[in-house]
Structure 1
Amino acid sequence: MIGPDTVLAGRYRLIEQIDSGGSAYIYKAMDELTKQIVAVKVLKPELTENEEFVQRFKKEVQAAAKLRHANIIRAYDAGLDNGTYYIVMDLIEGKTLKHLINVNGPLPIKYAVAVAKKICLALEYAHVKGFVHRDIKPHNVMIDMTGEPYIADFGIARNLAQNTITAEEGSVMGSVHYFSPEQARGERVDKRSDIYSLGILIYEMVTGKVPFDADTSVAIALKHINDPMPDARDEMPSIPESINKIIQKATQKDKHFRYKSAFNMYEDLQRCLSEPDGEYVKYSESKRTQQHLEEAHAKRSKQSVKRLILTFGVAAVVVFAIIAIVSAVINFNAERPVPLQNFVGMTEKNAVEAAQKITSMPTITYENSSEAEKGVVIRQDPAAGTAFKKEDPLTLVVSNGTGSDIMPNVTDMDITQARKILLENGIELNQIVEDTKGDMPVGYVIEQHPAAGESVTQSGSVWLTVKASPDVQKVVIPNVQSMNIADALGVLKLRDLSLFFIYEKGSSEQKGVVISQSPQENTELATDKPVMLTIPEPEGRRYRLSEPIDLNIPKDATSLRIGVPGDIDGTPVYYIIYDTMVESGDHAIEPTGTIIMDSDEETIQKDIVIFLDGIQVKTESVEFTRR
């Protein structure tokens, strides 16, 4: 039974329940590791078997892991403990905005505008990150003791980048008094739905009441769809017209007539008190309003309308016919292939300008050449005279000059300058290794391979070791053993960790459960370093690398890992097939590990990524053969 004195994850001791929502309890708690007071959100026990609410809870964890804004409540840990899902958040000592409105009625105009501006900026940040909140309302805005607002509850947020939401697509999510019309109709939403809800929230802050109310939720939803937005000045004549116009623009029935972004809304709020007439707030009435006006006009002059329809109908047929003929001719000419001109011998600048007349942007590559001056096109693909359409790809190969086989000295200089010198000499930089040791400034080259004066060809590849900042953020690693791998990754991502190495081994443990972890819990780890997680092998066929990998290692005692990129519930990971320490020099590496695939093919092509001392240095496509 969850309650006061319950300890979650061996760390968070619940002190008292401070709030309750439809799906979760909020507790004040003590983090016994850091001795800080935190808030812990616990999914209600009766909902742990409800897959929809569990998924909502997990999505809130994922959203919190990606959102770091001064006015969004920060979550920094989450997990599953003995069947209890929990999220650990900053504790905001204060009340909800809804509580303030219920107690005080209409809020002071200056304060309401200040809160609205900060919510706008927080929403703009979330929208840019790809999240739409979908449930903006005063209940989900916490106000601390200094009056600062914080957006809470991203539990039904939709991640636009992943094109996923936390409940079924057909479900209507959000709170009916703050619904956008498209939410009320059960349609897909975007950031303009949050802007509509924020307009409703501002209306409530300045008037003390919601604009639409009724006895049933359905009736309220229908008002959002059909009824015009009330004028805030009818309720509170002292409200500046500028604020009323901002509310009206934000709450247009047709989302295309609302603010294009939360930041645009913020810009108008910035001016609303100094320019109370609101002349600067520009918006058009929604299509629905325009339609009502047109219908009213039609009733007053049916005969005129009929004559206009007849006249303009005939004209429209003629115009559309002309447009169709012209468009067909234009499209035919645009789609018809034309012989590709010859770019060879032109300067890069002139060739690009000429190519952009027939295609969007050519691909430019560079090669050393002893026959052409630097900057001159030496080859093209397709060749001159080839039938070419605008959407076809075009590659121009440009001379990089004769180049040099002798490695210049680029140590003790900024990496940008070093790259420039190598490029000027026609030398390709293959790999960069970071190191925090030494007194060199951050971003400067510490070591190089080959050494200055040595042959680049004989050395095989060019490496630079660059000074990295030692001041990397460090976090305490939580215990994720026995957790589902997807949940474990979610917890680790909340600590700002992003590099995950997955090891698979034969085990009787449940599939998908973390068997072991490295580093162990309570260990400090820099956020740019990898976390190693071991899970049981899945079912499938084993594939091993077909050919050895040729590598040049620049220094002794280098940690070498070879991984195959993968994805677990939206989190990028690397399945490690080789992990060892190697000495400097040339090596033909034959990874002993395998990947397991659900495939019947004898060979498959996959990318592999090579890590030296935990830093990604090389990616290449290789062939795997079934064992």
Structure 2
Amino acid sequence: MATSRQPWSVPGVILFSHGEFSYEVDLSRPLVEELAQSRLGEIIVPAWERTEKKRLREVIVRSLPPTSSDDPEMLERMRARLREEAHLATYLQHPRIARTLGPYEVQGVLYIVSDRVEGTSINSLITYSQMREKLLSPAFCLYVGAEVAGALHYAHTCKDENGAPLGIVHRDLNPARIFLEPEGGVILTDFARARSLLPGRVASTLPRPHGDVFYCSPEALLCEETDPLSDLFSLGLVLLELATWRHLYSMPHLRPSDLEKALTPKAKKQVLDAAITAMEAELPEHTEDCILRAATFTRQDVDSLTEPLAHPLRSIVRRLIQRNPGDRYQSAADVEADLRAGLAALGASYGATEALDEVLFSLEGASMNQRVIGPTNEGQLPPDMVTEEDIITERGGTT
């Protein structure tokens, strides 16, 4: 039988129990600093999954109390969105994808449990390589890219119990969503903003970019339809930054006024409409710059940015970040195959052990250069919360 206490009412108590497992707040952590709460009342906190006798693993518990909103209709939409997220997660059973469990509803409180990923994010590794003033090796980039592409291929080709394609698109692939584990494995996290064809899924309120706009595909930024090829574009941006510290949407030598002059009347209207949508959705201020850049970058820009990359990483990234989806790789499986072939062509074995050794060396160098010690446990907290723009407006769509 499931039991529950009101979250945070008594320090150190079990949040809730389900079957043989209970979820306990970890008082050894600075809970006040790590607890997060959204504007809509969703609460996120680190916890332990445990049995009656011992703690098993660290997790992140998200809870939505029945009194978290003064608007009953909005609250029910929030609960529906979280249930859908947990339902979709039941299909994502892959060793390179962080797990999400639930939903568990106990005494009116809705709970979702996610893996607390151990290791270091690719976002942090980029920072540490900059502090060390030395790029990570092409082998490391090929290895990480291949592991992520494999996870994406699994997600993109998932089917339901009846064999129907689920049409999953991550939509928030960026360096903060990819982790290198303590043993050197690669984990892809946070499908909270994923689009799918899961029956009963719902449409978001605006056709807008989801996730970090700095890593969105051009079609996402311009409020067009997204598909698995959009995730491949995002992967290309991640690999470009990991391998060069450069980004397609950050070209300081190009002035916005000059870019606007290059737009056709049709493209100018599309950019304006996308900028208005971004403003209505309260997206970050730099979204407008990303939209303009996504609408104006050229094949020559791509060639110039990728020129410093070693072969075959150069040709792979170059193909991933083409504006026209038809010019990109057509599946994550093809991307993975080319990345692994490129890794094999280097002639030396490179896998989890070699990746971990390289990262530890990079972290040590960053610490010596900047007197900063890199994290050894950087579980993502918080995962994506439900926002007003994630709330449903109509049944039968995709989100």
Shorter-chain TM range is 0.5 to 0.7
Q: SS state of the match for residue 150, structure 2?
A: helix
Preserved contact between residue 23 and residue 47 of structure 2 (Cα < 8 Å):
no
Preserved contact between residue 35 and residue 44 of structure 2 (Cα < 8 Å):
yes
> What is the alpha-carbon distance in structure 1 between the residues aligned to residue 316 and residue 37 of structure 2?
31
1:287-321: CA deviations, max 9, x gaps?
xxxxxxxxxxxxxxxxxxxxxxxxxxxxxxxxxxx
Preserved contact between residue 82 and residue 103 of structure 2 (Cα < 8 Å):
no
1:332-373: CA deviations, max 9, x gaps?
xxxxxxxxxxxxxxxxxxxxxxxxxxxxxxxxxxxxxxxxxx
Q: Does 1:141 align with 2:141?
A: no
Distance verdict in 2 for CA 1:73–1:242, change over 3 Å: same
Q: Does 1:260 align with 2:303?
A: no
Name which of structure 1's ranges 186-195 and 35-44 shifts more when overlaid on structure 2: 35-44
Look up the equivalent residue of 2:314 and give its one-letter code. N
2:357 paired residue number: none
Q: Does 1:64 align with 2:89?
A: yes
Q: Does 1:13 align with 2:24?
A: yes
Match of 2:142 among 69, 91, 113: 113
Preserved contact between residue 184 and residue 222 of structure 1 (Cα < 8 Å):
no
1:168-210: CA deviations, max 9, x gaps?
3524322111111111111221111111111111111112243
1:189 paired residue number: 226
Q: SS state of the match for residue 247, structure 2?
A: coil
> What is the alpha-carbon distance in structure 2 between the residues aligned to residue 94 and residue 37 of structure 1?
14
1:29 paired residue number: 48
Match of 1:247 among 317, 334, 337: 317
Q: SS state of the match for residue 204, structure 2?
A: coil
1:423 paired residue number: none
> What is the alpha-carbon distance in structure 2 between the residues aligned to residue 193 and residue 48 of structure 1?
35
Q: Which has the higher strand share?
A: 1
Q: For CA contacts below 8 A with separation 6 or more, give which structure has more relative contact order.
A: 2
Calculate the TM-score normalised by the size of structure 1.
0.40
Q: Does 1:128 align with 2:177?
A: no
Q: SS state of the match for residue 180, structure 2?
A: strand
Q: SS state of the match for residue 13, structure 1?
A: strand
2:289 paired residue number: 219
1:42 paired residue number: 62
Deviation at 1:73, TM superposition (A): 0.7
Q: Does 1:152 align with 2:177?
A: no
Q: SS state of the match for residue 37, structure 1?
A: strand
Q: SS state of the match for residue 157, structure 2?
A: helix
Please report the RMSD computed on the Cα atoms of aligned residues, expressed in angstroms.
3.3
Taking the TM superposition and a 5 Å limit, the aligned residue runs for 1:354-365 are none
Distance verdict in 2 for CA 1:53–1:137, change over 3 Å: farther
1:571-614: CA deviations, max 9, x gaps?
xxxxxxxxxxxxxxxxxxxxxxxxxxxxxxxxxxxxxxxxxxxx
Preserved contact between residue 56 and residue 155 of structure 1 (Cα < 8 Å):
no
> What is the alpha-carbon distance in structure 2 between the residues aligned to residue 264 and residue 253 of structure 1?
18
2:371 paired residue number: none
> What is the alpha-carbon distance in structure 2 between the residues aligned to residue 30 and residue 43 of structure 1?
15
Q: What percentage of residue pairs aligned between the two structures are identical?
A: 23
Deviation at 1:122, TM superposition (A): 0.6
Look up the equivalent residue of 2:220 and give its one-letter code. Q
Q: Which runs of 5+ in 1 are unaligned?
A: 277-568, 570-627
> What is the alpha-carbon distance in structure 1 between the residues aligned to residue 119 and residue 45 of structure 2?
13
> What is the alpha-carbon distance in structure 2 between the residues aligned to residue 268 and residue 19 of structure 1?
42
Look up the equivalent residue of 1:28 and give its one-letter code. A
Distance verdict in 2 for CA 1:45–1:112, change over 3 Å: farther
2:204 paired residue number: 167
Preserved contact between residue 20 and residue 26 of structure 1 (Cα < 8 Å):
yes
Distance verdict in 2 for CA 1:32–1:136, change over 3 Å: same
Calculate the TM-score normalised by the size of structure 2.
0.61
1:203-234: CA deviations, max 9, x gaps?
11112243313872111122122213645875
Q: SS state of the match for residue 111, structure 2?
A: strand
1:132-178: CA deviations, max 9, x gaps?
11111111122211221111111111123538356235243221111
Taking the TM superposition and a 5 Å limit, the aligned residue runs for 1:236-315 are 237=308, 239-273=309-343
Q: Which runs of 5+ in 2 are unaligned?
A: 1-5, 159-165, 253-284, 347-395
**Aligned length in residues:** 277
Distance verdict in 2 for CA 1:119–1:14, change over 3 Å: same
1:96 paired residue number: 121
Distance verdict in 2 for CA 1:135–1:45, change over 3 Å: farther
Preserved contact between residue 158 and residue 165 of structure 1 (Cα < 8 Å):
no
1:561 paired residue number: none
Q: SS state of the match for residue 9, structure 1?
A: strand
> What is the alpha-carbon distance in structure 2 between the residues aligned to residue 5 and residue 166 of structure 1?
39
Distance verdict in 2 for CA 1:132–1:158, change over 3 Å: same
